[in-house]
Structures are given as structure tokens and as C-alpha cells.
Structure 1
């Protein structure tokens, strides 16, 4: 897209030709199963993220290589070992100089051209109530970092030992973060507590951690939705991708 705009600015192509090329550039068809939105990052600040669940591993690999070739990187969520193996195999077959990083905890795969760096636009905070909530938190971290955020993390600071929250929260406030993501399972109270103590947006993420009725994240979700602390936004159960993307939008807005 930048190359098309440069050529237009230098008078090499007309506005009609530029518009036509931009339309063609924005969507790329991949075989007979996908259309890649290569300009989503420029348009919205959030790149297209490949959701691996429900896709065949070879489709995930095709998408990853196509995205990384078009824009320098590809991010895959909810990936498994078979997906990683297929992506690495495809990278070797294509003989492209890509790095493949698998975060087993977050279940994400980051494929990028060697030496590709993500521009840092600002800081966010990321808090997990318990150790069991870390996988969702890590998914949010990876997404936020790809979107240009420096992520300051504090894990295992839930309300069962509320004193553990004081120092990490003070650190985040002093760091002037644009938003704070809070992941919590069980009764999901921690996001409300954090939202009552800070003046930045707080994003609550219910985690499917707990016992019996409501233990699959429903109790945490309902608790967050019923919060009496203003300034708390809530995403769906386990939606680290959505939380990371929303926090990145907060950073973009703060920098305007």
C-alpha cells in the first residue's frame, strides 16, 4: 500500500490507477479457501489473526506463509503441535527466511521475516489473578506485542491475597500505561477491584477456571458484567485475542 501511495505522490500513476491497485492489494485470494485482508493493520491498527481451531494444519500453514510474505509477519492463535510442525515444514519447503516462534502456553505461533521488528507505540498492563489464568493472559500479551505494545505483566495477584496486588498496580500506574488487562477465573472479582483503583480503561477477561456450576468461566463473566466499578470493559470467556486488541486500540488512541 505504501508503495502505491508513493508512486501516486510522485505522479507515476493517476488517482484512478492508485484506487484500482489499492482495491486489488487489499484482498488476496488464497487457493479456494481464504481471502487475506493484508491491509487490516493499516486500516484498523490490528492485523488479521489466523484462528487455527477448526482449520486443517496445511491450511494454517498456507495462511501463515501468505500473510508473512505479504506483510512481514503472521500471527496464529489457538494453535497446536501439529500446526507448528506443518508451518515449519511449509517454511522449509518454500525456502523463505522466516522465524517461527511457538508459545506453548498461549497456543500462538508467530511467523515473521528474520529481523522483522514491531514498532513500540506505548505501554499496557497485564494482570492474571491466578497461575491457571496465565494461558489466556499470555495470548493477550502476544497479541498486544504484535500490535506494538510494551506489556508489563503481573501474575498470581488474585483477591485471595489482595495485598499481592498493591505493588504491581503501583508499578503500572507509575509506568503510565494506556490500559490494563485483568484475567480472572473463579468468581472473577479482580477486574472490578482494579477498575476501582485506576483512571485508565480496564479490560476484564473471564477465564474458564473454577469448580462445578459456573466453573467454565460463566460465573466470572456474569460477575464482570455486573460490576459496579465504572470503566470496566469485558470480553468473552478466554478471549485473550480480543483483550489484547482492545488494549492496543487504547494505546493508539492515547498517541493521537
Structure 2
């Protein structure tokens, strides 16, 4: 996981007195949120901090934004999740046979894994 390696480097630099506590704090905050395009923000290191991975809340997002966000999360973390998918978006995903995204959906859950 790329993000965890960057965090380990920051912590090692802190331990070895290569950076100050304030610098380490700033660097760690930078690694919390990433922007995709102009309007999409993802918390790539959420799982490292909380034990729960970043999840895309898809209800009010365009299909293209959902795909873009999930691809970025999958690239960084190896897996991506989306909740509250619209039925038409689930159908589009199944039609596309996307090479990165597999759908696993319970009839009422509207969850993409």
C-alpha cells in the first residue's frame, strides 16, 4: 500500500530527527485527503487511521465521477467500495464489464465492491 509506505517514511524521518513534530504533522495531514478533478475528494488513508476503508457515497454522484473515484481508490488501496448506487449505474457497470471493478450486489443493499 503506497500510502502506508509514505507514512512510515514520515515517521522514520521523525524518529531520526530529520523533521520536526510540526513538519511530521503537516506531512501526515497532506496524506489524508486527495483531490480528484475539481470536486472530488477522497480520504486515501482512512483505513490506516480508522480501520475502515474509504467508501464512495454514490447517491448524488454522476456515473463518471463514481468510476473515476473508485478507480483512484482501487489504484491506491487495492480495493474500493461504493454505497447507495442507483440501479441504472449498477446496470451500466455490468454492461461495461469494467476491468477494475467487479459488482457484488445484494438486491436491496446497492453496494459495489
With structure 1 as the length reference, what TM-score do the two structures score? 0.35
C-alpha distance after superposition, 1:54-96 (max 9, x if no partner): 21110100110111112221101232212455681xx5xxxxx
Report the alpha carbon displacement of residue 45 of structure 1 after superposing the two structures with TM. 1.9
Partner of 2:81: 75
Does structure 2 retain, via aligned residues, the 8 Å contact 1:60–1:87?
no
Larger-Rg structure:
1
Does structure 1 retain, via aligned residues, the 8 Å contact 2:4–2:48?
no
Distance 1:36 1:19, change over 3 A: same
**Alignment of structure 1 residues 115-154 onto 2, 5 Å:** none
The alignment's C-alpha RMSD in Å is: 2.5
Q: Distance in 1 between matches of 2:46 and 2:54?
A: 6
Q: Distance in 2 between matches of 1:86 and 1:30?
A: 22
Runs ≥4 residues deviating over 6 A: none
Matched position secondary structure for 1:109: coil
Q: Structure 1: give runs of 5+ residues left out of the alignment.
A: 92-97, 111-256
Q: How many residues align?
A: 101
Matched position secondary structure for 1:50: strand
Q: Structure 2: give runs of 5+ residues left out of the alignment.
A: none
Q: Which has the higher contact order (CA 8 A, sep 6+)?
A: 2
With structure 2 as the length reference, what TM-score do the two structures score? 0.70
Does structure 2 retain, via aligned residues, the 8 Å contact 1:61–1:86?
no
C-alpha distance after superposition, 1:166-217 (max 9, x if no partner): xxxxxxxxxxxxxxxxxxxxxxxxxxxxxxxxxxxxxxxxxxxxxxxxxxxx
Q: Distance in 1 between matches of 2:18 and 2:5?
A: 11
Partner of 1:9: 12
Q: Distance in 2 between matches of 1:18 and 1:86?
A: 43
Partner of 2:30: 24
Distance 1:12 1:75, change over 3 A: farther
Q: Distance in 1 between matches of 2:96 and 2:24?
A: 37
Distance 1:6 1:40, change over 3 A: closer
**Alignment of structure 1 residues 55-204 onto 2, 5 Å:** 55-79=61-85, 80-85=90-95, 88=98, 91=99, 98=100, 100-105=101-106, 106-110=109-113
Q: Distance in 2 between matches of 1:45 and 1:38?
A: 12
Does structure 2 retain, via aligned residues, the 8 Å contact 1:60–1:83?
no
